[in-house]
Amino acid sequence: MTRIDARPFAFELDAGSVGLVVIDMQRDFVEPGGFGESLGNDVSPLQQIVPTTASLIAGFRAHGLPVLHTRECHAADLSDCPPAKRLRGDPALRIGDPGPMGRILIAGEPGAEIIPELAPLPGEIVIDKPGKGAFCRTGFETILGDLGLRQLIFAGVTTEVCVQTTMREANDRGFDCLLAVDATASYFPEFKRAAIEMMTAQGAIVGWAAETAQILEALDD
């Protein structure tokens, strides 16, 4: 065990049971000219975390530890997209509609791909998820169990939506969850701050938070 001086108290990292989960670093959310920006969002906070997230991924890979990626996307026939989800948001830009980088949030379209800077290596697990959380209608829990993981380090976007939802799902399933605060972002910086405060409040009610450098140091130890 290696101690990380995390928020709200120390996190005991167990290199034998830890994995990194990188949430939805997809072109449509992160890149200028994508779906996220076309909705009027400022993508620069998401762009800023790309180098830190890359260093976290590199650290896990260097130690031979699992890196798992998620993508929020749907089948081309939208059979896995509940109308309640499709009908939210801007009526002019719905899931499945033609967007700036192909059909919006459809598996296989350019916008649904993970940005090239953080592309999964062959053999790394990529979970395509129809929900905000990675456990909803995927085999994620079984995959984590098969890998022997009990601790999850989280990175990705957006902090208060897919990252927070997945952390809560994981926490309810008994995983110890730690969020890399400089490797996660929101279009709304105040929502990022609030989400981190909510999750670490009440004695880490959902999980812990720490800087990428602290996590990398603990891995090196």
The single residue among 52, 53, 158, 184 that binds ligand C5J, judged by CB under 6 A, is 158
Q: Is 162 among the residues that bind ligand C5J (CB under 6 A)?
A: yes
Residue 30 CB, nearest distance to ligand C5J (Å)?
10
Q: Is 179 among the residues that bind ligand C5J (CB under 6 A)?
A: no
Q: Is 28 among the residues that bind ligand C5J (CB under 6 A)?
A: no
Active site annotation includes 24: yes
Nearer to ligand C5J, 161 or 178 (CB): 161
Q: Is 157 among the residues that bind ligand C5J (CB under 6 A)?
A: yes
Q: What does R_g of the chain's alpha carbons equal in angstroms?
A: 17
Q: How many residues bind ligand C5J (CB under 6 A)?
A: 7
Which residue of the set 81, 129, 132, 176 is catalytic?
129
Distance CA 21, CA 25 (A): 11
Distance CA 152, CA 197 (A): 18
Question: Do the Cβ atoms of 131 and 168 come closer than 8 Å?
Answer: no
Nearer to ligand C5J, 59 or 130 (CB): 130
The single residue among 7, 13, 18, 24 that binds ligand C5J, judged by CB under 6 A, is 24
Distance CA 121, CA 54 (A): 12
Distance CA 137, CA 10 (A): 33
Task: Return the SS3 of 170.
Answer: helix
Q: Which span (1-9, 154-162, 197-205, 212-220) binds ligand C5J, by CB under 6 A?
A: 154-162
Query: Which residue in the block uniquely carries the two structure tokens 């929502």?
Result: 191
**How far, in Å, are 51, 66, 122, 126, 186 from residue 195 at the CA level?**
22, 25, 32, 25, 10
- What torsion do the CA atoms of 37, 35, 170, 22 make, to the nearest 10 degrees? -80
Residue 123 CB, nearest distance to ligand C5J (Å)?
24
Exposure of 208 in the CB half-sphere (CA atoms within 13 A): 23
Distance of CA 45 to the CA centre of its chain: 15
Q: Which span (10-18, 96-104, 156-164, 198-206) binds ligand C5J, by CB under 6 A?
A: 156-164
Active site annotation includes 162: yes
Q: Is 199 among the residues that bind ligand C5J (CB under 6 A)?
A: no
Residue 16 CB, nearest distance to ligand C5J (Å)?
30
Q: Is 72 among the residues that bind ligand C5J (CB under 6 A)?
A: yes
What tokens were used for 190? 């105040």
Catalytic site residues?
A: 24, 129, 162
Binding residues for ligand C5J, rule: CB under 6 A, are: 24, 29, 72, 157-158, 161-162
